Amino acid sequence: MAKDPLAEAGFHFDEVNKLRVLEPDVSQSTAELKEECREFVDKIGQFQKIVGGLISTVDGLAKEAETEKMKAIGARNLLTSVAKQREEHQQLLKGLIAEKKMQLERYRVEYEALSRVEAEQSEFINQFILQK
Amino acid sequence: MQSAEFVIFVLFFIIFLNTSSHKDLVSCLGWTTADELYSCSDDHQILKWNLVNNETNVVVKLSEDIYPLDMHWFPKTVGGKRQTQAEIFVLTSTDGKFHLVSKMGRIEKSVDAHKGAVLAGRWNYDGTALVTAGEDGLIKIWSKVGMLRSTLANQGSPVYSVAWGPDSDRILYTSGVQLTIKPLQPSAKVMQWKAHDGLVLKVDWNSVNSLILSGGEDCKYKVWDSFGRLLHSSSPHDYPVTSLSWAPDGEMFAVGSFNTLRLCDKTGWSYAVEKPHTGSLFSLAWSADSTQLAGACGNGHVIFAHVLEQCWEWKNFVITLTKRRSMQVTNVMNDAVDILDFRDPVIKASLAFAHLVVATSLQCYVYSSRNWNTPLIFDLKEGTVSLILQAEKHFLLVDGAGLYVFSYEGRLISSPKFLDMRADSLNAQVISLCDDTIAIRDNRDEKVILFFDVLTGKAVGDGNPLTHKLEVVEIALDQCGPATDRKIALIDKNRDLYLASVRHFGRETKICKIGTMVDNIAWNDAANILCGIQDNQLTVWCYPSVVFTDKELLPKTLHIRDSSEFNSAPRILNFSGTKVTLRQGDGSLVYSSVPPYIALLHEYCSSARWEDALCLCRLVKDQSLWACLASMAMANRELTTAEMAYGAIGELPRVEYISMIKEQPSKESALAHMLLFSGQVQEAESALLQAGLIYQAIQVNIDLFNWERALELAVKHKTHVDTVLAHREKFLQKFGKKETNKRFLHYSEGVDVNWENIRAKIEMELSKEREKAANASVRSNGASYR
C-alpha cells in the first residue's frame, strides 16, 4: 500500500478536504471526548444545584424545627409560670380587695354616724313641732 | 378652729416617664425644685429629670468604682435666708466615702468617712452639719465643708438609716431591731427602744409634727411620737419595707416596698395603695410642696406620683381636686357642678367661712361660695405655701419665709414677725387665727404663746406673751364675740386643757384649767362653744368662760357624748354649726351633733335678749342650758336673769347672794360683790378703794377672815381700826383662842373697842354711801336728760 507522503509528514485531509495535523479518527474521538466531558460537567453542576437546594431546604427545616422547639419550651415554661403568675396576681388583687374593704368599713362607719345624726335631727324636729 | 383644712380622701396618681432611664437599679433621688429631680443609680450615672418638658438628661457619669447609696440636697433655708434652689448635695457610696457634688455634677470634695459602705448621709435643717452612718456602725457629724466634727455613736452593727430631730439637736438612727435617739449634747440622755421584730431598714422624722416613722424587715411600718411611744403599727406587708418618707408638711407619708407604694395619713392609716411594676422602691422623695412624690425603682425607672382626689367640705359644697390644675365644686343642694382651673399645680387649699382659698406655686386664688366664676387672684412672693388658716374676715398664709394675713379682697393686711421665727415648722396645732388676733406658740420656748394683732401685725396689748407653766402642744382661739373678750384654749404636755384671756390690761393673765386628759380641741365657727376629745369621749364645753365667773358651775355646763359612739383615738377635724366632724384612728369619718339650743343661747346673750334666753331655757328644760345662762347673765351683770337661772338649777346660796347684791346701796359695792361672786377678791377690793368706800373694802376683808389686810387698810386710811379689832376679838372668842398676832396686839393697846360706837360708825358709812349713790344717780339722770 502506497503510503501517503502527507500522512507520513503528519498531515491529513478530512472529509471536507481541509488540511489537518491530527488523524481524523483521533480528532473525532477528541471531539467526542470533549462533548462527553461537557455533558459530564453539566450533569455534575446540575447535581450540585440539586444537592445545594436539598441542603438549604433541610437547613430551613432544621431552623424551623429549632424555633418550634424553642417555642414549645417557652410555651411549656409559660404554662408552668402561669400558675405562679396567677398566684401573684391573686395576691395583688387580694391586697387591693383588703384595701377596698377597709375603705368600705370606713364608709360604713361614716354612714352609721350620719344616720345617727339624721335620727337625732328628726327627733329634734319632731320634738320641736310637738312643743309648738 | 383647729384646722380650716378638711381633707377627706386622697388617692395617688402614678406616672411613668418613659423617655429614658437608668440601666441598673436606682438607689437614691432628691428634688431640687418642684419640677426637677436628680437620681443616682448603680450604672454610675446621675440623671436629671425635668417634669415640665418630660426630659431626662445625664448630668454626669461617675467613675466606675462609685456605687451611690444615698443622696441629700443641701437645705434651701439657711439662717432665715432662702435660696431659690439647692446648689449642692451629698452623695454617699459603697467605697466608704461621701462626696459633695454640685448641681452641675462636679464632685467638689470626696471624704473618706467610714470603713465599708456609707449607708446614709443627711444635712440638718439649717445646713450647718451633716451626719453620716456607715456599715462599720459609726455615726459621724461633719461640718458644712466636710470636716469631721465628732463621732456621735459607735455600735457593733451597721446603721441603715439616720434622721435629724425637728430642732436639729438630736439624731435618730437604727441599731438592729432597735431605734436610738441620741442628743448632740454629750451629757444628755440617750433613748433606745425595740421597734421592730426584724431589722429596721429606714427611719424618718418630721420637723413639723415631730413624729417618727420606721420600717423594717418584719414588713411593717410604725409611727412613733418623739418620746418613743407607739402611735400606729401597720399590719404586715408581703415584702420588707424598703423606703419611707414624710411629706414635708407632716400631713402624710409614703411607704415603699417591692412593687408597692402606699400613701398614709400621719396617724398611720392608709389612704391608698398602688402596685406598680417597679421592683423594690429603694428610695422615696417628696417635693418641698408635699404634692409630688418620686420613687427610685429597682428596675431602673423613676416613678412620679401626685396626690389627687383631695376633698374639702363646707356646708353644702364639696370640692375635689380632680387634676393637678383643676378642681371640681359640687353644690349638693342642687347638684350644680363648677370646674375651677388653675395655671399652676395646686399646692394647698382651704374651704371655710364661705370662701375657698387655693394656693398654687405662683398665685393665690380666692373664691367666694356665691360665685365660683370670678376668683380674686394675686401673686405669691414665695412659692411653697405650707399652711392656710381662715377666719371670718381674713385668712393667713404661711410659707417658708413668714406669715401673711390677707383680706378676702386680696389685700395684704399684716405680716407678723418675731425673733427666731421658723415659719416652716408651724402647723395648725401651734398657730391659731381669729378675726382680730393670731396666736403662735414660740418655737424657742414651747411654754410661751405669742399674740399678734391681725390689723397691725404687732404684739397684742403690752407685748408680753402668755407663759404657761408647761410646754404647750395645741392652741385654739375662739372665733366670736368682741376682741376684748378673746379667749385662748390651750393643751399642755400633761394633756390638761386651760382657758386664758388674750387681751388683759395691766393685771396678770388669768389662766384657768377646764379639763384634763384632753387630746385635741376645736372652737365652733359661729359661737364660742369648745369641743374636745377628753379621755376618748367627745366633750362640749357649752360656755367655757364660765370658769371666769363661777368655776364650780363648769361641770354643769358640759355636754358629754356617750363614748360607745367612737372607737380608738378620734380627732376633731372641724366644728361647724351643730356638726362635729371627727376622724377615728382607723381613718373613718364620724359625725356628732351638738344640740342647737346652745348656739341660740349664745346668740341671745350676746345681743342681750335676756327674755328670749329665759324663754328658750324654759322650753328646753335642760340643766346645762340653765347653767350656761346663769353664768352668761352673771358675766354680763344681768342679775335678774342670773337669779332665775341659778334658781332653776337649785343653786340657792348663789340666788341669795345675788339678791344681796341687788340690795347693795351703791353701784360700786354691787360691782365689788359681783367680782367677789366670781372669786376676784383683789379686783373687788381695788374697785371699792377706787370708789372711796374704805369701810366696805375693810368689811370685805373681814368677811373673808383676811385680818392682816383689813388691819393694814384700816391703819393706812386711819379709819375703822376699832371695827377690825372688834371683829377679830369676836372671832377669836368664838374659837376660844388668844391673840398671838403681834400687829393686832400692838394696835389693840391704844384702841378702845366699843361695839356701840362701831355700829354707829358703820351705819353712818352706809348712809353716806346711799346718799352718794343717790346723788350720783340724780346727776347721771340729769346728764342723760340733758
Alpha-carbon gap, residue B530 to B1, rounded angstroms = 9
Alpha-carbon gap, residue B566 to B533, rounded angstroms = 11
Residue B778, all three cell numbers: 340724780
Q: What is the largest CA-CA distance in chain A?
A: 170
Judging contacts by C-beta atoms under 8 Å, the chain A residues touching residue B596 are: 124
Q: Mind telling me how many Å the CA of B277 is from chain A's nearest CA?
A: 11
Higher-pLDDT residue of B242, B79: B242
Tens-place pLDDT, residues B705-754: 888 888 888 888 877 878 888 888 888 888 888 888 888 888 777 777 77
Alpha-carbon gap, residue B542 to B626, rounded angstroms = 11
- Whole-number mean pLDDT of chain A? 88
Judging contacts by C-beta atoms under 8 Å, the chain B residues touching residue A106 are: 586-589
Among the ranges A15-24, A36-45, B543-552, which has the highest mean pLDDT value? A36-45
Domain count, chain A: 1
CB spacing of A96 vs B238 below 8 angstroms: no
Q: Is B46 left (phi over 0), alpha (psi -120 to 50) or beta?
A: beta
Tens-place pLDDT, residues B425-461: 788 888 999 888 899 988 888 888 888 988 888 888 7
Q: Mind telling me how many Å the CA of A72 is from chain B's nearest CA?
A: 27
Q: Mind telling me how many Å the CA of B270 is from chain A's nearest CA?
A: 8
CB proximity B596 to A under 8 Å: yes
List strands edge to edge, sheet with B448-453.
Answer: B431-433, B437-441, B448-453, B466-467
Tens-place pLDDT, residues B88-137: 899 999 989 999 998 888 888 899 999 989 999 999 888 889 999 999 99
- Mean pLDDT in residue range B628-643: 88
CB proximity B562 to A under 8 Å: no
- Tell me which of B593, B594, B597, B620 to substitute to probe the interface with A (most A C-beta atoms closer than 10 Å): B593
Alpha-carbon gap, residue B456 to B347, rounded angstroms = 28
Name the CATH superfamily housing domain B13-306: YVTN repeat-like/Quinoprotein amine dehydrogenase (2.130.10.10)
Q: B602-626: b or e for each residue (b if 16 or more CB lie within 10 Å)?
A: bbbbbeeebeebbebbeebebebbb
Q: Please name which of B375, B366, B403 lies closest in space to residue B387, comparing C-alpha atoms.
A: B403
For residue B681, the Cα-to-chain-centroid distance in whole angstroms is: 34
Judging contacts by C-beta atoms under 8 Å, the chain A residues touching residue B273 are: 95-96, 99
Q: Mind telling me how many Å the CA of B31 is from chain A's nearest CA?
A: 30
Q: Please name which of B275, B717, B683, B658 lies closest in space to residue A93, comparing C-alpha atoms.
A: B275
Contact B573, B266 (CB under 8 A): no
Q: A62 is in which domain, residue-wise?
A: 5-131
SS3 content of chain B, % helix, strand, coil (to 5): 20, 40, 40
Residue A123: closest CA among chain B residues belongs to which residue? B595
- Is pLDDT of A1 > 50? no
Of A96, A113, A124, the CB nearest to B590: A113
Alpha-carbon gap, residue B733 to B747, rounded angstroms = 18
DSSP A63-96: HHHHHHHHHHHHHHHHHHHHHHHHHHHHHHHHHH
The 10 Å Cβ neighbour count of residue B771 is 12
CB spacing of B592 vs A117 below 8 angstroms: yes
Alpha-carbon gap, residue B141 to B139, rounded angstroms = 7
Q: Pseudo-torsion of CA B487, B492, B498, B500, nearest 10°? A: -40
Domain ranges in chain B are: 13-306, 683-785
Residue B122: predicted pLDDT: 93
The DSSP bridge partners found for residue B48 are B38, B57
Q: What are phi and psi of B754, to 5 degrees?
A: -135, 110
Alpha-carbon gap, residue B402 to B415, rounded angstroms = 7
CB proximity B277 to A under 8 Å: no
Q: Mind telling me how many Å the CA of B389 is from chain A's nearest CA?
A: 26
Place of cell 358703820: B762
**CA torsion through residues B476, B229, B512, B579, sign:** positive
The DSSP bridge partners found for residue B495 are none
Its pTM stands at 0.80
Tens-place pLDDT, residues B219-241: 999 999 988 889 899 988 889 99
The 10 Å Cβ neighbour count of residue B224 is 22
Higher-pLDDT residue of B696, B203: B203
Q: B80 vs B75, B76, B297, B423, B444, CA distance in Å?
A: 11, 10, 35, 9, 15
CB spacing of A95 vs B587 below 8 angstroms: no
